[in-house]
Structure 1
Amino acid sequence: MLSQCLRLWRRQGGCTPNGGRDMVEDYEIQEMIHRDVYVGDKHVGVVVGERFHPRDEFVRSLRLKVEDDIASEFMRKPADLAPLAKELVHSIRPDGGIKLSKSMRELQRRWRNTVRIEEDLYAPDELLDRAVLDNDGMDIGNVISLIKIKRTYKGLLIKPHFMIRARHGLPDTIAVPCGQLARTTSRLDEVILKCTFSRLMTLPSYVKLNDEGYEEE
């Protein structure tokens, strides 16, 4: 289900610089969808939704359809959809658009701190606690952390289900390379792999990621 409403953003200090009252607190997420987003007078994109998860700590971002020229200028590789942190929302403009509290440089910094799946960008909070399935539909486990190497996300740290661990002789956690993530499902809150789990375990990228030291985030 969709998260409750933007009133929560204010309680977390996210709607105004001082966490004070703002007209945006009265808007539910359903009312934010299809609104234009602006940094100053620059049109950044349009809100198209958010993640489906019952716990608010895993729904800290909106999904934003980014304008082509913005994506080309402020992303390493242009993406159609990208996260918009709720804490960046400042207020509702007189024309109904969403005003952000930060500069394009801050948006650019946050977009660099994402994972690319199927040509779209995902913030860490949008991936944590997602179920991970292989391309045969086998439920492997859930994402408990992200793996960063040299300031770039390289994998998802997964806690496999007990039966999967027992069947394949796995440790308590395994690392899945970001390059093997095929797509996400919105309603079911899943990440789907490009291959079967048996195939995944034979890939050099999987073996390397699970053998070397890495930084969890």
Structure 2
Amino acid sequence: MGSAPVSEAAAPQPIRPAATIILTRQGPGGPEVLMGQRGAGAAFMPSKYVFPGGAVDASDAQVPLATPLDPLCQARLRGDIAAEALAAAALRELFEETGLALGVPGTWPVAPPEGWAGFAARGLRPVADGLRFVFRAITPPGRPRRFDARFFLADAAQVAGDAEDFSAACDELSHLHWISLTEVRSLDLPFITEVVLSEVTLLMQGGVQPGVPFFDNSGTVPTFRRID
């Protein structure tokens, strides 16, 4: 009787660079953040409430930003992918998933790359000077998708148009809404989102970060450090 075939170990999931925007504003009950719910059938974090964000596209590196990132953010974003591409990805994902554009009126000096035609069609160019790099986290092994995600804080005052108008959003996130920092933990949140919200609360209350928190799960041993 032959022996049963030995199953091969599953190939490790690649870690994709990603970017997320935590859009904030002052509401009647204090600081608010914009959240949306992922679909129940999503492969990654189904049914969870998250910030708008996603993987970096190759075309994001070709986006001519109307205003650059803050020099400190650029320095802290050092790594194997350009800081400008991460900023562009965050702005594109915000636009795709919510219909909100962080931009200023202007004509693109080049043809808009893939994924940016709708943004350019509004007569806007993306701005990055209002983005603040506040968190980085790499998804632990064993998850169906893995990302090296950078989280940016941004003020809704930079939105071109009505920050309540989600009519141009794609269907990736549902139940898009503004919610106060005092109520947001009543939502079904991923663990990492809860951790990021603690940092956001600190900053919105005037606190100072001693470097950007970084949950690094790229190796066999999880590590935490701060990026100076």
* Higher normalized strand content (fraction of residues): 1
TM-score under structure 2 length normalisation: 0.30
* Higher normalized helix content (fraction of residues): 1
TM-score under structure 1 length normalisation: 0.31
Structure having greater relative contact order (Cα 8 Å, sep ≥ 6): 2
